[in-house]
Amino acid sequence: MCKRLMLLFSLLLVPLIFSTAMAAGAVTEDGVTEQNVKNFTYHLAFGERNVTLKDGKYEQPHPDYLHVWIDNFIIDDVDRNGTPDAVVVLAQNGGGSGTFFELTALLATQNGIMQTNSVSLGDRVKIDSIKVVENSEALSTSLFEPKKIVIDILTHKESDPSCCPTQKESLNFALYEDELVSYEDVPPTIVKKPAIYLYPQKEIKVKVKVDVNGEITKSIPQYGNGWEVTASPKGKIDGKYDYLFYEARLNSLPQLSEEGWVVAYDELGKWFDKNLAALGLNGKEARDLKEYWIKNLKPAKYYVIKLLDRNFIDENLKLQVSPTPQTVIRLMLYFKPTDHFDILKAPKPQKTVRVGFTVVEWGGIVEDSDADVCLKPAYSLLPDDTGILLLRAVNVGQHKLSITVNSGGCTDKDTIKAVVNKADAIDGQVPVYELTFLREKPDLCKAFLPEGVVIDYDLEKDFGFKMPYVVTVTNPVLPIVKDEPYFTISSIRIEIEEPKATSDAQDYYVMLKKGLIDATVRAIRLEINRYEASNHSDKQEKIGYLKGELARFEGMKPQDYVLETPEGQNGDENPLDDFGKFGPLMPPEEREAEVIVTDELEYGSILTVTGMTRSGPFYHVAGVMNDDFKALTPGKHKVKLYLVYKREYFGGIPDYYVFIGDKLQ
């Protein structure tokens, strides 16, 4: 399981391998068909290229010969969304002796047919069959168990010639979050304690049924064909129960919203206290939920918390109550442990007023890694973080390997662990070794080493590799050097407008400065919250610095705000161009930019700016002129951007809070 999590994290900073190729036209009600499978544009993992099959094959003549064909496929509703998908085995030959096989899937979505990632099956293997089956050994606590994709295959024994594999194997895969993974690597999502509270206006007999898209596995009292109980206005059931309890195994995976919260483990209690009332629970219900989940959520750095969609709940856990209640509140939470803090857009729940006979249900699911060790930090972004190392450089040659890493002065070979995994051989004979470097001990020293440090390895002496072999390094690499910024920011044309000699101009600059001060205060508060939730060893020092800055800007008057540095003066120290520094920017950095608005903006939103890449720079909205977000309608706008705060972010990646000024003609 840990290997699975490490792989997922390593994909964050390396080139994208998940193909999003779409078939022409929207998906029909038939989903993926044989015609689609045989005439699709596939992304090949081996060779990193796209090819369009015609009647199940593709052939490119010499000198760049390539032959691709479908070796086997099966049509099945793999993702359980009600429309057929396809699991496909592709084979390819580049003119040599090798024939390489890979497994991929085509999923029917609302936007077309999407190809998943591909999984290598090996060279010159033989595929006997593909099956998609239900897992009969699913745990009773499992909310969702994916279908199992079984590949019966012949692979090579050590004594087999390359042409003729004889060793029978069955490989098991599954679809998890639209990605093909080994079936054993699917982390279970488990349901926990759905509780149903009944509040009639007078003591009455109540019948309750839960029509589950799956099965009920546990219940208190015994469910049978449904509950028939006596409920009182104070919520007592049969004179002894506070609520009805059940657990269920469902046949559908919930579609999760992009909205939610990321909460530090130690702050979960405060989060429950702050949010459960707004989500519809009364004091007792909130205490019950909080008490249960505080005890049952495993330690982790953070938890992602999301709300399950009410339509999903009503469709998959249909609640039938007689007599019919006037008010029904159903709250299901999704919890996922994570090592990374992020700012998500928080949902805005609508307040439910309880009228008449009221039924309340709360519960949740937790995506569990099943291994405490996997909850340690995924990346070593900074020297004092442990986890998978973010490398500065990798060099391999002459049986030697060196890595360059960030260091505070106490990073050496003893603080780094190299994990070796044996991957599929290239031709059945030459072994492939995958190396992943982990920082096991935090580097708490305070030296400033902008060039990082180099750690050297002897592949034969340190790892026992004997020729011939192939070695790969799975760590992400951010190739920055001391005097060369990773990102190039083009020069900015600055135009100085003649100040208007009217009182309107003076009012405008007062309003602008007020907006910039408010945006800076908002940015500082967000960053204080971020540091309070972090585990950096020097976080108290950083929080202390920011609280001082917060007091300075909260007490600042518009006439004291420096909008531009007077000629001949350096002004306040500005960390904008200083690697590793962070904090408020005064005077702000002013830029003209084209922004792209797709959804309604709000404080904390990441602003899309023309020219930015997946790796930055990143701009978080801290303010807008006149607080007029409605003026930024969907589309493109040329605006003035004021960079009011530089965030501390790994690898020198530019990351700012910005104030959106006037639109430009």
For the residues of 86-145, what is the DSSP string, one character each? EEEEEEEE-SSS--EEEEEEEEEETTEEEE---EEEEES-EEEEEEEE--TT--TTEEE-
Q: How far apart are CA 146 and CA 163, in angstroms?
A: 35
The crossing angle, in degrees rounded to 10, of helices 283-296 and 268-275 is 160
The mean pLDDT of 578-607, rounded to a whole number, is 81
Helices vs. strands in the chain: H and E counts, helices first = 8, 36
The mean pLDDT of 417-440, rounded to a whole number, is 76
Q: How far apart are CA 402 and CA 396, in angstroms?
A: 7
The mean pLDDT of 427-456, rounded to a whole number, is 80
**pLDDT > 80? residue 173:** yes
The mean pLDDT of 94-108, rounded to a whole number, is 88
For the residues of 159-186, what is the DSSP string, one character each? TS-TT---EEEEEEEEEETTEEEEGGG-
Q: Which range has highest mean pLDDT (438-442, 577-581, 586-590)?
A: 586-590
The mean pLDDT of 186-211, rounded to a whole number, is 81
Instruction: Say what the pTM is.
Output: 0.35
Q: How far apart are CA 103 and CA 89, in angstroms?
A: 5
Model pLDDT for residues 641-662, shown as the tens digit of each residue: 999 999 876 545 678 899 998 8
Q: Specify the pLDDT at position 149.
A: 94
- Residue ranges of alpha helices (H) inside 209-359 are 268-275, 283-296, 310-316
Q: How far apart are CA 208 and CA 308, in angstroms?
A: 22
Q: How far apart are CA 361 and CA 365, in angstroms?
A: 14
Q: Specify the pLDDT at position 626.
A: 84
Q: How far apart are CA 321 and CA 231, in angstroms?
A: 12
Q: Specify the pLDDT at position 510.
A: 86
Q: Which of 340, 273, 346 has its CA nearest to residue 534?
A: 340
Q: Is the peptide bond before 468 cis (omega within 30 degrees of 0)?
A: yes
**pLDDT > 60? residue 28:** no
Q: Please say whether the dihedral angle defined by the alpha carbons of residues 259, 263, 265 and 268, taken in this order, is positive or negative.
A: negative
**pLDDT > 70? residue 572:** no
Q: What is the mean pLDDT of the chain?
A: 79
DSSP state of 651: G
Which of residues 501 and 368 earns the better pLDDT score? 368
**pLDDT > 50? residue 17:** no
Q: Specify the pLDDT at position 296.
A: 80
Q: How far apart are CA 322 and CA 208, in angstroms?
A: 7
What is the band of 109 on the pLDDT scale with cuts at 50, 70, 90?
confident
Amino acid sitting at position 622:
A
The C-alpha R_g of the chain, in whole angstroms, comes to: 29
Tokens of 87: 């699991």
Q: Which of 284-288, 361-365, 463-467, 532-536 has the lowest mean pLDDT?
A: 532-536
For the residues of 192-217, what is the DSSP string, one character each? EEEEEEEE-SS-EEEEEEEEESEEEE
Amino acid sitting at position 192:
K
Model pLDDT for residues 129-144, shown as the tens digit of each residue: 999 987 644 333 333 4
Q: How far apart are CA 406 and CA 392, in angstroms?
A: 7
Q: Specify the pLDDT at position 12.
A: 25
Q: How far apart are CA 105 and CA 119, in angstroms?
A: 10
